[in-house]
Amino acid sequence: MKRTLALCTAIPEKQLEEIKKYCDITICGELKHGRGNVTEEQTRNECIGHEMVVLGDEVAGYETVKMWHEAGMKFIGCAKGTPVTVDAAALEEFGYEMSYTPGRNAVAVAEFTIGLMIASTRNITLSSTGLQKGEHLGPPVDDIYDVPDVKNVIWGPLDENHPFTDYGIGFELYGRTLGIAGYGAIGKQVAIRALALGMEVIAYDPYCPVEQIESDGVTSVSLDDLLVRSDILSLHLPVLPSTKGIVNREWFSKMKPTAYLINTARAAVIDQRDFIEALESETIAGAAIDVFWQEPIPANHPLLKMRNVTLTPHMAGLTVDVDNWSGRMMGDEVLAYLRGEPRKYIWKTSR
């Protein structure tokens, strides 16, 4: 009897051709129906009965994993960096070592994080939005291409109505201290880029060896040192029972009043009420946030009206390149399993 694979996420064609030498492939889930168009029940029914199931963003709760297990599933993979969409308790109960794709979007998120750092500290979003709303503009002209011969083109007198005084001019990243909370694949990539910008980089991660952090030119520090010293604090923490709401009033009270918080990880690591209070009271200077406690963010959320906050709609990890990196990693995992070789990327459910 030929082996079978239920495939819900893209794998590069070259690897697919090699996989087809070992098994039949059935396209399922979002790979078949499109992103966001699949229910858990639909995924469960399409994938049941296959020896191997490879998921993307599809949800597989306890009952789904249990049913797949009872129907003979031997291998499960999830092409995500933090595969919380698959029930960890079921994986442990039924003895699965799930393949995943750590760091698949590390470069994408790291570049975006640097972008948010610059956008927030230099008020780029605030000033751009202000101009588009009609703030600080000159009167209409008959011909925009009829440009006066002025050698020093400036935005007018620096007074209380000037954009520099309204939006603020911000500070340079060069020479400032970036604190990284969580030195995993993404935290490391952010650190490398920040060092290239001339920043001092410090990191706190009790689970990462000090020598591993410091081999990158980053200083390993205690949590208190991280909070007290950082001009910018960038979060790269997974959502675990130990990290949920960990970024709270105690953290904010130790941070500089001039500090900015950047979050491209998960909103649940921040205590929402304490965060809003810290921003409203100017306990910290500002923030840039790509992730929210509910998505889409509710239209009446107070963050939407704050001038010291830069917001983006959970897009840090999305580029046209990410699926390719993820697919290649998962393709390697599937081939290793089919060949009876050790796999490289096994999700640790107990954390």
Per-residue pLDDT tens for 81-119?
889 899 999 999 999 999 999 989 999 999 999 999 999
pLDDT over 50 (residue 351): no
What mean pLDDT, rounded, does the chain reach? 96
- Contact partners, residue 303, CB within 8 Å, separation at least 6: 276, 279, 289, 297, 309, 311
- Contact partners, residue 301, CB within 8 Å, separation at least 6: 292
| Mean pLDDT value of segment 48-58 | 97
75 with 216, same domain: the answer is: no
Q: Is residue 345 part of a domain?
A: no
Q: Is residue 316 part of a domain?
A: no
Q: Which residue in the list 295, 339, 341, 351 is annotated as catalytic?
A: 295
307 with 202, same domain: the answer is: yes
Q: Is residue 161 part of a domain?
A: no
pTM of the full structure: 0.85
Residues spanned by the domain of 272:
106-122+170-311
14 with 89, same domain: the answer is: yes
Number of domains in the chain: 2
Active-site annotation holds for 17: no
244 with 331, same domain: the answer is: no
Between CA 236 and CA 23, with CA 331 as vertex, the angle to 5 degrees is 145
230 with 203, same domain: the answer is: yes
96 with 115, same domain: the answer is: no
- Contact partners, residue 271, CB within 8 Å, separation at least 6: 245, 247, 248, 249
Question: Which pLDDT does position 323 carry in this prediction?
Answer: 86
Per-residue pLDDT tens for 172-222?
999 999 999 999 999 999 999 999 999 999 999 999 999 999 999 999 999
Q: Is residue 140 part of a domain?
A: no
CATH classification of the domain holding 20: 3.40.50.720
| Mean pLDDT value of segment 55-61 | 97
Question: Which pLDDT does position 348 carry in this prediction?
Answer: 84
249 with 232, same domain: the answer is: yes
Question: Which pLDDT does position 269 carry in this prediction?
Answer: 98
97 with 180, same domain: the answer is: no
Report residue 186 as tokens. Answer: 């993404």
Q: Is residue 294 part of a domain?
A: yes
56 with 110, same domain: the answer is: no
Active-site annotation holds for 266: yes
183 with 242, same domain: the answer is: yes
Per-residue pLDDT tens for 153-167?
999 888 888 999 999
Confidence of residue 350 (pLDDT cuts 50, 70, 90): low
Half-sphere CA count of 290, side-chain side, radius 13 A: 24
Q: Is residue 160 part of a domain?
A: no
193 with 284, same domain: the answer is: yes
216 with 83, same domain: the answer is: no
Q: Comparing C-alpha atoms, which of 115, 252, 107, 109 is closest to residue 173?
A: 115
Q: Is residue 348 part of a domain?
A: no
Q: Is residue 206 part of a domain?
A: yes
Active-site annotation holds for 295: yes
Report the 3 state secondary structure along the chain. CCEEEEECCCCCHHHHHHHCCCEEEEECHHHHHCCCCCCHHHHHHHHCCCCEEEECCCCECHHHHHHHHHCCCCEEEECCCCCCCECHHHHHHCCCCCEECCCCCHHHHHHHHHHHHHHHHCCHHHHHHHHHCCCCCCCCCCCCCCCCCCCCCCCCCCCCCCHHHHHCCCCCCCCCEEEEECCCHHHHHHHHHHHHCCCEEEEECCCCCHHHHHCCCCEECCHHHHHHHCCEEEECCCCCCCCCCCECHHHHHHCCCCCEEEECCCHHHECHHHHHHHHHCCCCCEEEECCCCCCCCCCCCHHHHCCCEEECCCCCCCCCCHHHHHHHHHHHHHHHHHHCCCCCCECCCCC
